[in-house]
């Protein structure tokens, strides 16, 4: 039984209130054909919508199976519409982008039967209305009568108890109208049919009961239900829902009808993905290449233990010092350099440390080179005045352990002026990257306080090295220094040395930068001096004594004596050491040994090494990461833009499909189902754009690699990591889903009645 009790309904448009139903009080039997007659605007459609649960009454009650619907929730109404009600509209209301079979199936999708069963039900329903041969046609390929037959099949397929028909023949000619009426009468003989019509003749011919309607009120009823009639007739109501697969197939069909637009949308939103995929493949590929490169080359960069090391920050400060000097210039000039003392760590290389290095497994070491110093008594003549020179300003050029001329020299330095030589008489001036040289060195060269000096003025500068027996005088077991500088300068045994060339650390070479500046001599000079001085009186005496023969103070450590003999030029001590590991593993093992030494030492006595390769790789790694992040940030903007675009497109789609939303709701779809349909649509677009983006990026990698190979000789640099590909597709789906979120919520909130009235 269906009963309307004092139903009232009015619509507000702005401040204007339009009463559609004044006070409707009527009962319907479970099996009867009711025709509602009445002029346009009298509230017939409103009545049907309220009976069908599409629209809500303002007051009164709708009683189904004796139960009030006052407390019905949305879900109860949805189930009621899907199970109990079949709507037939004047304008057919078919979904145009799917076949008529799918239109009929749409009604069953919501009832949750299996796909196979639903298909059979739908085909059966279409057979009943005489359209079995047309099931794969689209609605616009049918005549009006045929479309209304489809609507009837759709209304019947779930075998509802109530058929609500709103002017079903209003758009059809008389002959077709009769056929449709016959069909409704035939298929709904055991149901309640409530049909709104303008046509009193049709009503009289087909209906068993005629209700006349005017101004929202019933003015006559040919067969009202009496109070004592059977009240045990029941309608059936069960839950409805649309699963995700159905939502996706519905959206997929919709997108199929807009292939061009879907493709362009997907392509546009894939641009961000393409950008990021390319950037990731490049950075990924470069990192792999750098790893290879490191293994080949960087492993062979030396561990450097120099006399001075400084922390990198102070080095940076020094580099940033403003002086307008050009780096690695071709100018034949020299400039003074301020002495830097901040953050300098002095490495005191001890015998213990040297022993550790000597004992490192030879298999780990590819090469070992030392820079040694020995005591030299050096003099120069400026303006006819002889001056003594600090011996600390002189050191030897690096040489191998066995004394052979070192590859360290050619690996790390370049001769920028003059020529190479191993003669003991030849000296070299080492300048820094800005051609600067320590002020003290400039002073002894005779260029104190000069702003710049020409290379040519430096070359040929002469020094005299005085041997110990001429330099020191013995006096009853202790020694004094000969003070007559002019006499010393002119001794017969003196060795005359001259500056032969100017050298500079190679560009971006740590060792070069760490070597400082100064005057360097060949190992041949050192060997010659040590040879001579070993036999000198002072060294011979010093070797026997436990006190300093110049100051007459007692030695505290064995080391002190060693250092004294070196100071006297009777031996040499290493000032810097370069260790060349065979490979990365060897380097780690060597470093372990060196670290062992430092463990037990105080901060001051620690010997710090410089790992050039590590510096290089962490630098290149960081730069790569930074560039990658910046580029990805840029491409991400296009991702955001594309998700906004998808949002807009989804919103347009919502507007376009308003009618469809109404139809789905009239068939019993829940708000949630509508959201699902549109989410499914954005999901498909997101997936398409993600996959498309990856495919295009994959294709673009081919020419990219060809270009890179032409430029850099590196083959196959760009490589897309499959993990990145999957992550990017996921991001694309998530972003488009977010973009479509608002439009799909708007869709679900649409009032089904208004949606159905939309054209
Ligand atoms: P009928 O189907 O008998 O032609 P309706 O039920 O469609 O009449 O409409 C009844 C009255 O309610 C009409 O005056 C119509 O303008 C008004 N009406 C119907 N729907 C709305 C709505 N959504 N908003 C405002 N007024 C409405
Ligand atoms: Mg109407």
Task: Report the atom number in ligand 1 closest to the C-alpha of 38.
Answer: 3
Which tens digits make up the pLDDT trace of 719-744? 899 999 999 999 999 988 888 888 88
d(CA 72, CA 134): 39
Ligand 1: residue of 46, 167, 757 to mutate (most ligand atoms within 8 A of CB) is 46
Task: Report the atom number in ligand 1 closest to the C-alpha of 13.
Answer: 25
For 544, the enclosing helix (H) or strand (E) is helix 537-544
Q: Ligand 2 center to residue 757 CA distance, Å?
A: 10
- Name the residue at shortest CA distance from atom 11 of ligand 1: 20
d(CA 54, CA 662): 9
Q: 10 to each of 60, 74, 239, 257, 469, how far by Cα in Å?
A: 13, 20, 30, 39, 126
- Name the residue at shortest CA distance from atom 27 of ligand 1: 11
Q: Ligand 2 center to residue 40 CA distance, Å?
A: 7
Q: What's the pTM value of the predicted model, to 2 decimals? A: 0.58
- Name the residue at shortest CA distance from atom 21 of ligand 1: 11
Q: Ligand 1 center to residue 75 CA distance, Å?
A: 25
pLDDT at 313: 46
Number of H helices, E strands in the chain: 26, 30
Residue 36: how many CA atoms within 13 Å on its side-chain side? 26
Task: Report the atom number in ligand 1 closest to the C-alpha of 754.
Answer: 23
For 623, the enclosing helix (H) or strand (E) is helix 612-656
Of 362, 421, 373, 420, the C-alpha closest to 398 is: 373
Alpha helix ranges (H) inside 657-721? 658-666, 671-712
Task: Report the atom number in ligand 1 closest to the C-alpha of 43.
Answer: 6
pLDDT at 104: 92
d(CA 372, CA 360): 20
User: Which ligand is nearest to the Cα of residue 215, counting in written order?
Assistant: 1
Near ion ligand 2, which residues have CB within 5 Å?
45
* Three-class DSSP category at 619: helix
Q: Ligand 1 center to residue 678 CA distance, Å?
A: 29
Q: Ligand 1 center to residue 754 CA distance, Å?
A: 10
User: Which ligand is nearest to the Cα of residue 170, counting in written order?
Assistant: 2
CATH number of this structure's domain 2-240, picked from the four choices 3.30.499.10, 3.30.300.30, 3.40.50.300, 3.40.50.720: 3.40.50.300
- Name the residue at shortest CA distance from atom 16 of ligand 1: 41
Structure tokens at 168: 């079903």
User: Which ligand is nearest to the Cα of residue 167, counting in written order?
Assistant: 2
CB burial of residue 545 (10 Å; 0-12, 13-18, 19+): middle
* 109 compared with 140, residue with greater pLDDT: 140
Q: Taking CA 648 as the corner, what is the angle to CA 647 and CA 653, rounded to the nearest 5 degrees?
A: 95
Ligand 1: residue of 18, 87, 90, 216 to mutate (most ligand atoms within 8 A of CB) is 18
The stretch 543-567 carries a mean pLDDT of 84
* Three-class DSSP category at 710: helix
Q: 164 to each of 53, 75, 235, how far by Cα in Å?
A: 11, 20, 15
Please check the confidence at residue 312 and state whether its pLDDT lies above 60. Answer: no
The stretch 587-612 carries a mean pLDDT of 85
- Name the residue at shortest CA distance from atom 10 of ligand 1: 43
Please check the confidence at residue 299 and state whether its pLDDT lies above 50. Answer: yes
What is the residue-wise DSSP string for 11-24?
Answer: EEETTEEEEEEEEE
Task: Report the atom number in ligand 1 closest to the C-alpha of 753.
Answer: 23
Q: 285 to each of 133, 305, 651, 667, 682, how far by Cα in Å?
A: 59, 34, 40, 55, 33
Which tens digits make up the pLDDT trace of 447-490? 888 889 999 999 999 999 999 999 998 887 788 888 899 999 99
Please check the confidence at residue 178 and state whether its pLDDT lies above 80. Answer: yes
CATH 3.40.50.300 location in the chain? 2-240
CB atoms within 10 A of CB 387: 15
Q: Ligand 2 center to residue 43 CA distance, Å?
A: 7
pLDDT at 450: 86
d(CA 241, CA 79): 8
d(CA 60, CA 462): 120
């Amino acid at each position: 039984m269906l009963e309307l009790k004092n139903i009232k309904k009015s619509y507000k448009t702005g401040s204007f209130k339009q009463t559609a139903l004044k006070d409707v009080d009527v009962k319907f039997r479970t099996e009867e054909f009711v025709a509602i007659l009445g002029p346009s605007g009298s509230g017939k459609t409103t009545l049907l919508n309220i009976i069908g649960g599409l629209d809500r009454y303002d007051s009164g009650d709708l009683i189904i199976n004796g139960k009030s619907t006052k407390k019905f929730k949305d879900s109860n109404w949805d189930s009621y519409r899907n199970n109990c009600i079949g709507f037939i509209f004047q304008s057919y209301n078919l979904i145009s982008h799917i076949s008529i079979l799918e239109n009929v199936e749409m009604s069953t999708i919501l009832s949750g039967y299996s796909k196979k069963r639903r298909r059979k039900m739908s085909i059966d329903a279409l057979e009943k209305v005489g359209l079995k041969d047309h099931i794969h046609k689209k609605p616009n390929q049918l005549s009006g009568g045929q479309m209304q037959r489809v609507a009837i099949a759709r209304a019947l397929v779930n075998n509802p108890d109530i058929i609500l028909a709103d002017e079903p023949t209003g758009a059809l000619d008389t002959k077709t109208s009769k056929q449709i009426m016959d069909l409704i009468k035939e298929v709904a003989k055991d149901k309640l049919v409530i049909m709104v019509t303008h046509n009193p003749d049709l009503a009289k011919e087909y209906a068993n009961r005629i209700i006349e309607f005017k101004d929202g009120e019933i003015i006559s009823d040919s067969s009202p239900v009496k109070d004592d009639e059977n009240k045990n007739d029941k309608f059936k109501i069960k839950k409805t829902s649309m699963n995700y697969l159905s939502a996706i197939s519905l959206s997929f069909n919709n997108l199929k009808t807009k292939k061009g637009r879907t493709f362009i949308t997907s392509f546009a939103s894939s641009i961000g993905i393409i950008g990021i995929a390319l950037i990731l493949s490049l950075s990924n590929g470069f990192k792999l290449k750098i790893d290879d490169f490191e293994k080949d080359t960087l492993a062979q960069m030396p561990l450097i233990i120099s006399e001075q090391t400084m922390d990198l920050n102070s080095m940076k400060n020094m580099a940033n010092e403003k002086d307008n000097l050009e780096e690695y210039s071709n100018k034949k000039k020299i400039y003074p350099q301020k002495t830097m003392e901040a953050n300098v760590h002095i490495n005191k290389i001890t015998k213990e440390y040297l022993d550790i290095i000597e004992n490192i497994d030879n298999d780990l070491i590819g090469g070992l080179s030392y820079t040694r110093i020995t005591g030299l008594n050096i003099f120069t003549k400026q303006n006819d005045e002889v001056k003594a020179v600090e011996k600390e300003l002189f050191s030897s050029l690096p040489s191998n352990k066995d004394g052979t001329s070192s590859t360290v020299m050619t690996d790390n330095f370049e001769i920028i002026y003059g020529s190479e030589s191993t003669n003991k008489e030849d000296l070299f001036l080492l300048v820094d990257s800005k051609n600067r040289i320590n002020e003290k060195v400039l002073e002894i060269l005779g260029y104190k306080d000069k702003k710049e000096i020409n290379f040519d003025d430096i070359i040929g500068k002469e020094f005299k090295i005085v041997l110990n027996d001429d330099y020191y005088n013995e006096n009853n077991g202790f020694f004094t220094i000969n003070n007559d500088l002019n006499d010393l300068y002119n001794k017969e045994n003196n060795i005359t040395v001259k500056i032969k060339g100017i050298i500079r650390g190679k560009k971006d070479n740590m060792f070069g930068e760490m070597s400082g500046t100064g005057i360097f001599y060949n190992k041949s000079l050192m060997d010659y001096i040590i040879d001579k001085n070993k036999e000198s009186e002072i060294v011979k005496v010093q070797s026997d004594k436990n006190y300093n023969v110049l100051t007459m103070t007692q030695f505290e450590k064995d080391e002190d004596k060693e250092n004294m003999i070196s100071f006297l030029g009777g031996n040499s001590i290493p000032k810097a050491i370069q260790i060349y590991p065979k490979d990365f593993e060897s380097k780690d093992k060597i470093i372990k040994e060196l670290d062992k030494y430092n463990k037990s030492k105080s901060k001051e006595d620690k010997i710090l090494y410089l790992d050039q390769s590590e510096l290089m790789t962490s630098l290149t790694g960081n730069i790569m990461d930074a560039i990658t992040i910046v580029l990805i940030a840029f491409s991400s903007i296009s991702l955001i833009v594309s998700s906004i675009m998808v949002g807009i497109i989804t919103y347009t789609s919502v507007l376009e499909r308003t009618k469809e939303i109404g139809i789905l709701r009239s068939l019993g779809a829940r708000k949630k189902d509508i959201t699902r349909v549109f989410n499914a649509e954005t999901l498909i677009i997101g997936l398409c754009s993600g996959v498309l983006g990856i495919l295009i990026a994959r294709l673009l990698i081919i020419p990219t690699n060809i270009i890179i190979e032409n430029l850099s000789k590196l083959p196959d640099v760009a490589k897309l990591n499959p993990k990145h590909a999957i992550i990017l597709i996921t991001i694309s789906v998530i972003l488009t889903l977010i973009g479509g979120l608002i439009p799909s919520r708007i869709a679900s909130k649409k009032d089904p009645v208004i949606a159905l009235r939309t054209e």
